[in-house]
């Protein structure tokens, strides 16, 4: 069973898609300062591709539509290259549906969430069904990214750790499967850097909040896990800040999680821009998808933070 929808040989030539993406790049928002200072955000967005949008939910829906559009424009080869990215982008959708199952609110809410989903029809049908979570997990763990020979099954993890354990496990397995598989070099570098960011955030949280349990760092990043373990044992927050600087070239001015996360995202954005120059086609698509996701994040932050100091909001944004 495939996780994503199968398009067969459908799709457009690569050069055609590149031209379309280059044209659509002009739609990205640029005047973030003006948007932050504008008391009527909705009116400011009327001349953009976010016209008529008033909520974070509608912003995310717009992002999903764009991801959907790119997927359906791609030919088979490009869909194969970007398969890990699309699967990762669908994890939030999958987990949201499972939470509705956990709360026994299935049909209407699941249908709303899956409108623009790239999840395969066979898995969607399972999500629409009355199947309980263990039954669905028994199907999910047969799909290659989520398989793990010799490791606890997803049902066992659900029984012992609940949904938080399942969420963490399928995310980790997908990321490790991606970086240890024969993926395109650009996609591999992206996910390796993404793993570094997640590991640094985990390290930061454990030190900041003095969590007594041992963190589980994801393998496959460029930062060796032994370095992360050493920093954890040192209990020195400045070493975490130094790790952030080495990864991004940006000095953290604050020690809050949003600040650290946004700095890491800014650093990853810089790396993706380099990838775009080194790999004009694959890098261009990756940069477009990432930039659209960051634009979605920025707009959601602005909408949620209408009453918050503008400088604080700007500090969380990625441009």
The angle formed by the CA atoms of residues 41, 46 and 47, to the nearest 5 degrees, is 120
Residue 309 buriedness (CB in 10 A; 0-12 / 13-18 / 19+) = exposed
Asked if residue 171 belongs to a domain, the reply is no
Q: What is the pLDDT along the chain (319 residues), one digit of tens a residue?
A: 899 999 999 999 999 999 999 999 988 888 888 787 776 777 777 767 787 777 888 888 899 999 999 999 999 999 999 999 999 999 999 999 888 877 666 667 788 889 999 999 999 998 888 778 999 999 999 998 998 778 899 999 999 999 999 999 999 999 999 999 999 999 999 999 999 999 999 999 999 888 888 898 999 999 999 999 999 999 999 999 999 999 999 887 765 666 889 999 999 999 999 999 999 999 999 999 999 999 999 888 888 877 677 677 777 788 7
Q: Domain containing 190 — which CATH number?
A: 1.20.1690
Asked if residue 229 belongs to a domain, the reply is yes
Asked if residue 84 belongs to a domain, the reply is no
Asked if residue 195 belongs to a domain, the reply is yes
Which residue pairs, CB below 8 angstroms and at least 24 apart, start in 265-273? 265/197, 265/294, 265/297, 265/318, 266/318, 267/197, 268/190, 268/193, 268/194, 268/197, 269/294, 269/318, 271/189, 271/190, 271/193, 272/190
Asked if residue 20 belongs to a domain, the reply is no
Cα separation, 164 vs 142, whole angstroms: 20
Asked if residue 237 belongs to a domain, the reply is yes
Residue 56 structure tokens: 């974070």
Q: Residue 120: its pLDDT value, please?
A: 95
pTM of the model: 0.91
Q: Residue 313: its pLDDT value, please?
A: 74
**Residues 27 and 78: beta-carbon distance below 8 Å:** no
Q: What is the DSSP string of 222-234?
A: SS-HHHHHHHHHH
Asked if residue 287 belongs to a domain, the reply is no
Q: Residue 36: its pLDDT value, please?
A: 79
Q: Residue 315: its pLDDT value, please?
A: 72
Q: What are residue 119's DSSP bridge partners?
A: 4
Range of the domain at 239: 184-279
The number of distinct structural domains making up the chain is 1
Q: Residue 258: its pLDDT value, please?
A: 60
Q: Residue 105: its pLDDT value, please?
A: 62
Q: Residue 310: its pLDDT value, please?
A: 67
Q: Residue 149: its pLDDT value, please?
A: 78
Asked if residue 221 belongs to a domain, the reply is yes
**3-state DSSP assignment of residue 241:** helix
Q: Residue 300: its pLDDT value, please?
A: 87
């Amino acid at each position: 069973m495939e996780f994503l929808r199968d398009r067969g040989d459908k799709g457009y030539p690569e050069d055609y898609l590149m031209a379309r993406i280059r044209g659509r790049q002009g739609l990205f928002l640029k005047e973030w300062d003006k948007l932050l200072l504008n008391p009527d955000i909705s009116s400011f967005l009327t001349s953009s591709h976010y016209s008529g949008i008033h909520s974070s939910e509608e912003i995310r829906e717009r992002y999903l539509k764009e991801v959907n559009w790119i997927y359906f424009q791609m030919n088979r080869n490009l869909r194969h290259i970007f398969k890990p990215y699309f699967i990762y982008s669908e994890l939030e959708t999958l987990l949201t549906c499972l939470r509705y199952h956990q709360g026994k609110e299935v049909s209407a809410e699941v249908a709303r969430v899956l409108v623009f989903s790239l999840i395969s029809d066979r898995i969607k049908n399972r999500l629409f069904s009355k199947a309980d979570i263990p039954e669905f997990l028994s199907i999910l763990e047969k799909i290659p990214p989520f398989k793990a020979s010799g490791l606890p099954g997803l049902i066992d993890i659900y029984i012992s750790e609940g949904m938080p354990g399942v969420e963490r496990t399928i995310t980790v397995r997908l990321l490790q499967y991606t970086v240890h598989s024969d993926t395109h070099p650009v996609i591999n570098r992206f996910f390796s850097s993404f793993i570094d960011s997640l590991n640094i955030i985990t390290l930061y949280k454990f030190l900041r909040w003095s969590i007594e349990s041992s963190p589980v760092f994801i393998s496959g990043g460029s930062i060796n896990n032994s370095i992360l373990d050493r920093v954890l044992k040192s209990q020195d927050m400045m070493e975490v800040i130094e790790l952030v600087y080495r990864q991004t070239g940006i000095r953290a001015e604050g020690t809050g999680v949003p600040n650290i996360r946004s700095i890491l995202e800014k650093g990853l954005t810089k790396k993706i821009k380099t990838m775009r120059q080194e790999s004009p086609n694959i890098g261009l698509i990756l940069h477009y998808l990432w930039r659209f996701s960051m634009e979605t994040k920025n707009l959601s932050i602005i909408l949620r933070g209408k009453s918050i100091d503008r400088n604080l909001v700007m500090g969380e944004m990625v441009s």
